[in-house]
C-alpha cells in the first residue's frame, strides 16, 4: 500500500466517523422533544368515553311534539332502589314489560321519572336507561313534589 492511498483511506475513515458523530448530535434534541411531547400527551389526554343524554325542555319540546300535551306515566324511584309506576310498586322486569307493552300501542306516551329523597343521579339514570331500552321515547325528569 502506497503512502498516498493510505492517507486517502485515513481521510475517509475520519470523515465517516465525523458523519456518525454528527448524526448522533442531531438525534438527541429530537429525542428530547419527542419525550416532552409524549409526557404532555400522557398527562393532558383523557381516555374516558363521555356521552350525553338529552332531555327535552318545554321550549324544545314545543317544537318537537307540537302544541298537544302528551299523556305521561309517573315512575317514582325510592332511595333503596324500589320503583313504582302510576303508584303501584313494580320490579324492574315488570316495568320493562309494561313499558314495552304500552309503547306498542302509543309511542308518544311520556314517562316522568321522579326520585324520592336521597336518590342519587346514578339511580335516576339507571331508571331512564331501563325505560328507554324498553321502548319509551319520551322520558323526562320531575323533582319531588312538596319539598
Q: Contacting other proteins (CB under 8 A), which of 4, 26, 51, 104? A: 51
d(C-alpha 9, C-alpha 17), whole Å: 12
Site for other proteins in 76-105 (CB under 8 A): 77
Instruction: Classify each residue of 58-84 as buried b or exposed e, where b means 16 or more C-beta atoms within 10 Å of its C-beta.
Output: eeebeeeeeeeeeeebebbbeeeeebb
Minimum distance from residue 74 beta carbon to other proteins (Å) = 14
Q: Contacting other proteins (CB under 8 A), which of 17, 82, 94, 137? A: 17
Contact status, residue 74 vs residue 99, Cβ threshold 8 Å: no
Q: What residue ranges bind other proteins (CB under 8 A)?
A: 13, 17, 20-21, 23-24, 27, 30-31, 34-35, 37-38, 41-42, 44-55, 57-60, 77, 115, 117-126, 128-129, 132-133, 141-144, 147
Amino acid at each position: 500500500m502506497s503512502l498516498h492511498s493510505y492517507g486517502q483511506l485515513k481521510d475517509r475513515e475520519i470523515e465517516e466517523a465525523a458523519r456518525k458523530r454528527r448524526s448522533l448530535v442531531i438525534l438527541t434534541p429530537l429525542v428530547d422533544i419527542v419525550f416532552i411531547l409524549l409526557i404532555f400527551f400522557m398527562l393532558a389526554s383523557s381516555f374516558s368515553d363521555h356521552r350525553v343524554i338529552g332531555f327535552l325542555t318545554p321550549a324544545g319540546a314545543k317544537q318537537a311534539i307540537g302544541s298537544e300535551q302528551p299523556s305521561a306515566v309517573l315512575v317514582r324511584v325510592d332511595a333503596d332502589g324500589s320503583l313504582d309506576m302510576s303508584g303501584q310498586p313494580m320490579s324492574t322486569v315488570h316495568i320493562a314489560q309494561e313499558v314495552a307493552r304500552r309503547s306498542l300501542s302509543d309511542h308518544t306516551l311520556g314517562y316522568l321519572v321522579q326520585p324520592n329523597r336521597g336518590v342519587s343521579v346514578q339511580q335516576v339514570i339507571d331508571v331512564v336507561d331501563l325505560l328507554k331500552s324498553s321502548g319509551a321515547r319520551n322520558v323526562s325528569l320531575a323533582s319531588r313534589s312538596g319539598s
